[in-house]
Structure 1
Amino acid sequence: MSPHVAIITDSTAYLSQETLTRHAISVVPLTVVIGDEAFEEGTEISAPAVARALQRRHPVTTSRPSPAEFTSAYQAVATSGADAIVSLHLSADFSGTYDAATVAAKSSPVPVRVVDTGMVAMALGYTVLAAAETAEAGGTPDEIVAAAEKRAADTSAFFYVDTLDYLRRGGRIGAAQALFGSALAVKPLLRLADGRIELLEKVRTASKAISRLEEIVVDQAGARRVALAVHHLAAADRATLLADRLRDRVPGLDDLVVSEVGAVIGAHAGPGLLGVVISPH
């Protein structure tokens, strides 16, 4: 009989509760801190609440789960019958989550493979789904990790933000890049590359930046069979319009999800975020 391998991720994967339940994926939450109050992502605070706090200039920070939280999660799935665990998390360049999971893995009652996917949001979500589907098919931990790493390598993410200030404050983009992006009041387009956020292009206006984002996605998708995720923060109309246009323009579109990002990513990207994840099957 094939071993039962449990799949664990963190709350920045932004998979729906239905998807998590269907694939038996466990989630360890990150924390958002507004002022001196801490909230668990996914259960205690919403992205719109974070957007309002940022707009009102309240201090907003985030923090990783503790190793003890991972220890508890690993013990829970082991008690439920898991023989091994694959634990997949957002880029280690963004958060200490991977490090906390690695510490906890040393005391897990069953073997744990901890994976720094280099991804975040649905770029992480699609990677986790690849792992879960491989586990369901009876894959070994090595096969599950290989499937996840392949999906991550094939997945790309591009996004627009109204300002780089929030990314700069959170240390997610360098001061020099932030200054470059803010020069002459240009609007920045960014991409996720090698687990880091890179400034890709500067465009004069928000409308031109969003049009350029559309063109980049259409070009990246090509004629391949792809899943797309359109993310936003406090920009639902923009996201809906972009999603509608991509449905018309991406010939190999297999699935398209439109969702507001969670509180942690929202805290670092700021209101107005519009992003697209492209994940070939």
Structure 2
Amino acid sequence: MTIQILADSASDLSFKHYNEFNIEMVSLTVHLDGKEYEDGKTIEPKTVYSAMRDGKSPKTSQVSPQTFKSVFTTYAKANKPLVYIAFSSALSGTYQTAKMMEQEVKEEYPDAPIHIIDTKCASIGYGLVVLHAAKLAQNGASLEEIIEDATYQAEHMEHIFTVDDLEYLYRGGRVSKTAAFVGTLLKIKPLLHVEDGKLIPLEKIRGSKKVLGRMLELMEERGTDFKNQTIGISHGDVQDTAEKLASMISEKFGVAKENILIEMVGSAVGSHAGPGTIALFFSNKPNQ
């Protein structure tokens, strides 16, 4: 029996990926102008970025308990194996909600083959873990193999990213008002990474031109075997910059362009990171 992979919209994968690899997706909610939208379904990331450039502050909320309960119940009734690969528990309550609903559903269906993995990853870093698992599922891998591999991929996924304006991180509670103000004045670009699922400042770079080069230096320091893995790049409505970074990676590490996945940061994650975000994802220990 083929194992179903479930992801949430914070993976920033496209419908093409969901369809091609038979991945089911549940949406986080984006709140903008007094309305609620389903991330990845009923709102485009460009809409969110345009609103943020106009000074608006979209909010987000986790996947609803009802959504998880409905999906889990469907698979429990059919006794079909489901692996939900989740957005970092340190960045959203979505994972915890899923665990609560799993417990509720298993009270009625104790043997329901539902399994939940906290990736502690975000955006396309999280998406790459999901894609890896979905490909294994399509190729008939066992439940144990998929869970083991997804856990491994998540543990070794590196996130290196920068934002265009510290103000967006300030609004999301990631930096102080003073840091945001001073950073903007000095044209400081922060470099951040993800550690145990949390966003952690790495260093500050003076001037945007130096940032991409420094990202490549960090990639070289932290990663390995780039030709034999998929590299991920996500961006906050700056496709040209993302493509420039991809070209630099191809040139420096000999990675084929088709092995670099570029996607826009979705509406939910983008509501916190803001327009101009550039994020780079790779494995520090590929397991083919």
- Please give the secondary structure, in 2, of the residue aligned with 1:271: coil
From 115, 120, 129, the counterpart of 1:127: 129
User: Which aligned pairs between 1:1-281 and structure 2 lie closer than 5 A?
Assistant: 3-78=1-76, 81=78, 83-108=80-105, 109=109, 110-171=112-173, 173-175=174-176, 178=179, 182=183, 184-224=186-226, 225-251=228-254, 253=256, 255-279=259-283, 280=286, 281=288
Letter in 1 for 2:160: F
| Consecutive unaligned residues in structure 1, runs of 5 or more | none
- Measured in 2, the distance between the counterparts of 1:164 and 1:90 equals 23
- Measured in 2, the distance between the counterparts of 1:78 and 1:119 equals 27
Any idea what the Cα deviations from partners look like across 1:246-271, whole Å, max 9, x if unmatched?
11112355711112111011111011
- Measured in 2, the distance between the counterparts of 1:177 and 1:85 equals 46
- Please give the secondary structure, in 1, of the residue aligned with 2:250: helix
Letter in 1 for 2:274: G
Any idea what the Cα deviations from partners look like across 1:225-245, whole Å, max 9, x if unmatched?
221111111212111111112
Any idea what the Cα deviations from partners look like across 1:76-98, whole Å, max 9, x if unmatched?
4456x552221111111111110
- Measured in 1, the distance between the counterparts of 2:225 and 2:41 equals 38
Contact 1:232 1:239 in 2 (8 A): yes
What number of residue pairs does the alignment pair up? 277
- Please give the secondary structure, in 1, of the residue aligned with 2:5: strand
- Please give the secondary structure, in 1, of the residue aligned with 2:259: strand
- State the shift of 1:179 in Å: 5.5
**CA RMSD, Structure 1 to Structure 2 (Å):** 2.3
Contact 2:12 2:264 in 1 (8 A): no
Any idea what the Cα deviations from partners look like across 1:165-199, whole Å, max 9, x if unmatched?
2223223x253995698384421111111101111
TM-score normalized by structure 1? 0.89
| Consecutive unaligned residues in structure 2, runs of 5 or more | none
TM-score normalized by structure 2? 0.87
- Measured in 1, the distance between the counterparts of 2:79 and 2:139 equals 15
- State the shift of 1:207 in Å: 0.8
